[in-house]
Homo-oligomer: A and B are copies of this chain.
Amino acid sequence: MQAELLAVGSELLVPGRQETNAATLTRYLLERGCKVVARTTIADDAQALTDSFRLALSRADLVIATGGLGPTEDDLTRECAATALGATLIREPSYVEWLKERFKRFNRPMPSVNEKQADRIEGGRLLMNEKGTAPGQLIEREGKILVLLPGPPREMLPLFEREVLPIVEARSSGERIVMRVIRIAGMGESDVEQLLAPIYKTFSNPVTTILGGASEVELQLVGTGSNEAEAGERVEALASKIREALGPRIFTERGESMEQVVAAMFMRRGLRLALAESCTGGLVTSRLVSIPGVSAFLDRAFVTYSDRAKSEELGVSEETLRAHGAVSEETAREMAKGALRAAGADVAIAVTGIAGPAGGSAEKPVGTVCFALDGALGSRSTRRVFPSADRERIIQQASNSALEILRRALVGFEG
């Protein structure tokens, strides 16, 4: 079963405004085995809205529109849905009465414009909305379902749960979806694709999507089965082959973030971590601190942005800074040693680099970042060049690499 969502309202297309109903509905529907294949946010324009209804009805089994059910001239959802279906609108006297009663309860006369909220699409039924004046509507036609719901989430969601979900569940009986998210670090999207395509292409179920991120690649496996166990088995059949091919390059199959994975491993191993950050400016530490329970393994970190701070806080020697520069494996190694000592930790990681836009040279271009690990997981250092001119991106990638270096050291993977 496939669904398409329409969010109606010019106000949703204002810069900075985030439409939220679509995301909510997507999750609820997928959990019931119904995939959302398109989501559109559309202005209050009769022709455009009618055309969008027509297109959605031509390709989805379930079409849900939210918003545009109010009493004003801009509220066109009812009319456009009816036009797209080739149906007429019938004013429901009983609903007009209900509306008048509702206004009376709030000691206000009902404006006449509100009467159009009682217009029902022929062949459909009104869905009573206890939290507002706009009723929903549900029309079944030639095996397809069209649902109109009010825009405000606190009105939309109760109607959806009460009136729509049971129908989705009944329809999608005999089909369950299980989704697995596999995340991979230290490989590019096309390398992952080339390695895995021969494997996942032999499976039509689950369906695999590859998504390239900042410096991780995400595989989404969506399996279908007549029940959850069967769908899960199908996902696992492919996941086990992917696991064979990628080994410890996979950092999670449970949708966790890199910082969640690294934090969980430090907690499990009972090792204490210290950090020394220069160009990443505290980002690696703050990503770990975003995880609950971090105090079990993280006591302190040093952001040493200047040479002087590196010397004073971490004991990096002036000769090293002079001979090799602040961005060097030598400096990174001394930063890690200094952090390890100062914090009395078991493991330390250090990051120092040139995030730009200034400060690059032929030998050390912008994007050059040096890392060092020291302590109970071994001592090593590495230098990487992130091919970017974007400061924030270089910083983000450097923080990912720092976490990946920790993770690989924790699982004993040399790569």
Chain A interface (Cβ < 8 Å from any Cβ of B): 9-11, 13-18, 23, 26-27, 30, 35-45, 47-48, 51-52, 55, 58-59, 70-74, 106, 111, 113-114, 131, 133, 152, 154, 179, 189-191, 193-194, 197, 209-212, 218, 220, 275, 277, 279-286, 288-290, 292-295, 298-306, 308-309, 312-313, 342-343, 355-358, 387-393, 395
If over half of A's interface residues share one DSSP class (helix, strand or loop), that class is named, otherwise mixed; here it is mixed
Q: How far in angstroms is the closest Cβ of chain B from A18?
A: 7
Cross-chain contact of A16 among B37, B197, B220, B298 (Cβ < 8 A): B220
- Residue of B with least CB distance to A392: B290
Given contacts A281-B282, A299-B305, A309-B343, contact A289 B17 (CB under 8 A): no
- Cα(A102)–Cα(B357), bound, Å: 22
Given contacts A16-B211, A18-B23, contact A303 B280 (CB under 8 A): no
When the two chains form their complex, are residues A305 and B295 in contact, meaning their CB atoms are under 8 A apart? Answer: yes
Given contacts A131-B388, A300-B304, A309-B343, contact A14 B209 (CB under 8 A): yes
When the two chains form their complex, are residues B23 and A16 in contact, meaning their CB atoms are under 8 A apart? Answer: yes
When the two chains form their complex, are residues B303 and A71 in contact, meaning their CB atoms are under 8 A apart? Answer: no
- Cα(A302)–Cα(B342), bound, Å: 12
When the two chains form their complex, are residues B38 and A15 in contact, meaning their CB atoms are under 8 A apart? Answer: no
**How many monomers of this chain does the complex have?**
2
When the two chains form their complex, are residues A51 and B40 in contact, meaning their CB atoms are under 8 A apart? Answer: no
When the two chains form their complex, are residues A194 and B113 in contact, meaning their CB atoms are under 8 A apart? Answer: yes
Q: Which residues of B contact A59 (CB under 8 A)?
A: 47-48, 51
When the two chains form their complex, are residues B395 and A290 in contact, meaning their CB atoms are under 8 A apart? Answer: yes
- Cα(A220)–Cα(B10), bound, Å: 10
When the two chains form their complex, are residues A48 and B37 in contact, meaning their CB atoms are under 8 A apart? Answer: yes
Q: How far in angstroms is the closest Cβ of chain B from A347?
A: 15
Q: Which residues of B contact A343 (CB under 8 A)?
A: 309
Cross-chain contact of A280 among B35, B275, B286, B387 (Cβ < 8 A): B286
- Residue of B with least CB distance to A44: B209
For the complex of A and B, list the 6 residue pairs with the smallest distance between their C-beta atoms, beginning with the closest: A281-B289, A282-B282, A300-B309, A15-B27, A301-B303, A282-B285
Q: Which residues of B contact A212 (CB under 8 A)?
A: 70, 152
When the two chains form their complex, are residues A111 and B289 in contact, meaning their CB atoms are under 8 A apart? Answer: no
Q: Which residues of B contact A282 (CB under 8 A)?
A: 277, 281-286, 289, 301, 303
When the two chains form their complex, are residues A72 and B290 in contact, meaning their CB atoms are under 8 A apart? Answer: no
Q: How far in angstroms is the closest Cβ of chain B from A151?
A: 9
- Cα(A111)–Cα(B113), bound, Å: 62
- Cα(A52)–Cα(B40), bound, Å: 10
Cross-chain contact of A294 among B37, B191, B281 (Cβ < 8 A): B281
